[in-house]
Amino acid sequence: MADSTSRRDFLKTASFGAAALSMTASSYARIVGANERIAIGMIGCGGRGQRAHMSGVHPHDKTQNAEFTAVCDPWRKRREEASALAKEWYGRPARQFVSYRDVLALDDIDAVMIASCDHQHTTHLEAAAKAKKDVYCEKPLAMDFEKLKRAVEAVKQAGVVCQIGTQVRSYPTSTGCREVYRSGALGNISRIEQVRNGTKPYWYSRLAEVKPDEVDWQEFLMDAPDQPFNADKFSGWYGYRDFTDGPIPGLASHFVDLIHYITGAKFPESAVAQGGIFTWKDEHHFTCPDQVQATWVYPEGFLVSYATNYGNASGNLIRFSGEEGVMNLTPWTKPTVSGEGAIRKGKLAEEKPVEPIETPDHFLDWLQCIRSRGTCNAPIEAGYQHAVAVIMAVKAMDTGKRYIYDQEKQETREG
């Protein structure tokens, strides 16, 4: 692509409105008509990378003229699979790399998708922003508060388009729930809760046979504690605290982000949490808790509760409880609203479905924003907000202390 630099510079710097006024008809058509390919690099080619990110973009890659042209992963098997997937879709394999640095150094890459391990997200995101690549970054956005702030600042300074992978907020039913909340039909909300249980922690399904000569172990570790290669830790990293903090950031990040989207709340005032390993004790020596309970208090005047039990799969729910009724998101793709449990009579009576509101899916929204230079449905600010909440709760779980967030100073502390 001989004109890739000029085209990429345009995509990175021009607003859609300014372009419409100042560009020639031919250059305007290049953007609106999608005649220029969006070249995407995939950072992290495991289950999320292939089955969520790549497969999520693929239904739109023809209409949006997008293509995965480079992939990277410390495990040769995964990057070979991702490259082969690109060949199946586009007739040519994606270039393969071990390190994210090599993908970000490519001049002909416009955007990257980050589906790496939790402990790598902020490093990859900060580097992508500094390389002026538009970016889609998986949740949870961060494990460490200082790294979170650096990554967010890098995105803002670079002015790149950024979508955070909390895709539940882009469900049409989620937008419908937001309208129910805004209508005031539920009355004052006092409690929002999720119970997300299962028979077995999700990290067991990731365990795989991995040969050390197929892996760049140091590229995987990055700034995690140095340690010998371990196949369980590499493939089942979701279960080890060196690389993730378990269900609160891994699962509750979706829930917290959905609350922020529906209610307009941004940050909790305080958090407390407890957790531990009570059921799944075996030869894998996982360190992430199989039981967690976290609560947050929000300045808007409601309490948020999240719990996971991997000792029994019953009792799952998502519920917004108000004075005049309840909104039930169990499951969150089929929400209902009713006057159940109301302490005063309002507009709600019999249970009825929440009407969905047409919303672009999360991946299409990202691709469209790359072209328009618009703001994504889950912008970097939304990622920062969910990350603050889950980091507070993890700190509370680890210390047994109550944690608070000072919005003015942008800091969390015991309190």
Could you list the pLDDT tens digit for every one of the 415 residues in the chain?
333 444 444 444 443 333 333 333 332 333 433 469 999 999 999 999 999 999 999 999 999 999 999 999 999 999 999 999 999 999 999 999 999 999 999 999 999 999 999 999 999 999 999 999 999 999 999 999 999 999 999 999 999 999 999 999 999 999 999 999 999 999 999 999 999 999 999 999 999 999 999 999 999 999 999 999 999 999 999 999 999 999 999 999 999 999 999 999 999 999 999 999 999 999 999 999 999 999 999 999 999 999 999 999 999 999 999 999 999 999 999 999 999 999 999 889 999 999 999 999 999 999 999 999 999 999 999 999 999 999 999 999 999 999 999 999 999 999 9
Q: Looking at the structure, do residues 109 and 204 belong to the same domain, yes or no?
A: no
Q: What pTM value is reported for the model?
A: 0.91
Q: Looking at the structure, do residues 195 and 294 belong to the same domain, yes or no?
A: yes
Q: Give residue 64's domain range.
A: 4-167+364-379
Q: Looking at the structure, do residues 45 and 82 belong to the same domain, yes or no?
A: yes
pLDDT of residue 35: 62
Contact predicate 388/270, CB 8 Å: no
Q: Looking at the structure, do residues 327 and 398 belong to the same domain, yes or no?
A: yes
| Helix, strand counts (H, E) of the chain | 16, 16
Reduced to 3 states, what is the DSSP secondary structure of residue 15?
Answer: coil
| Interatomic CA distance for residues 247 and 308, integer angstroms | 7
Q: DSSP state, 18?
A: H
Q: Looking at the structure, do residues 324 and 200 belong to the same domain, yes or no?
A: yes
Residue 207's nearest CA partner among 261, 285, 132, 299 is 285
Q: Looking at the structure, do residues 368 and 405 belong to the same domain, yes or no?
A: no
Retrieve residue 298's tokens: 């929000």
Q: Looking at the structure, do residues 281 and 302 belong to the same domain, yes or no?
A: yes
Q: Looking at the structure, do residues 190 and 339 belong to the same domain, yes or no?
A: yes
Whole-angstrom CA distances from 105 to 3, 16, 75 are: 17, 27, 20
Q: Looking at the structure, do residues 218 and 122 belong to the same domain, yes or no?
A: no
136: CATH: 3.40.50.720
The answer to whether the peptide bond before residue 140 is cis (omega within 30 degrees of 0) is yes
Look at the chain and report how many structural domains it folds into. 2
The one-letter amino acid at 250: G
Q: Looking at the structure, do residues 409 and 289 belong to the same domain, yes or no?
A: yes
247: CATH: 3.30.360.10
Q: Looking at the structure, do residues 317 and 350 belong to the same domain, yes or no?
A: yes
Q: Looking at the structure, do residues 163 and 179 belong to the same domain, yes or no?
A: no
CB atoms within 10 A of CB 160: 24
Beta-bridge partner residues of 38: 66
Contact predicate 52/58, CB 8 Å: no
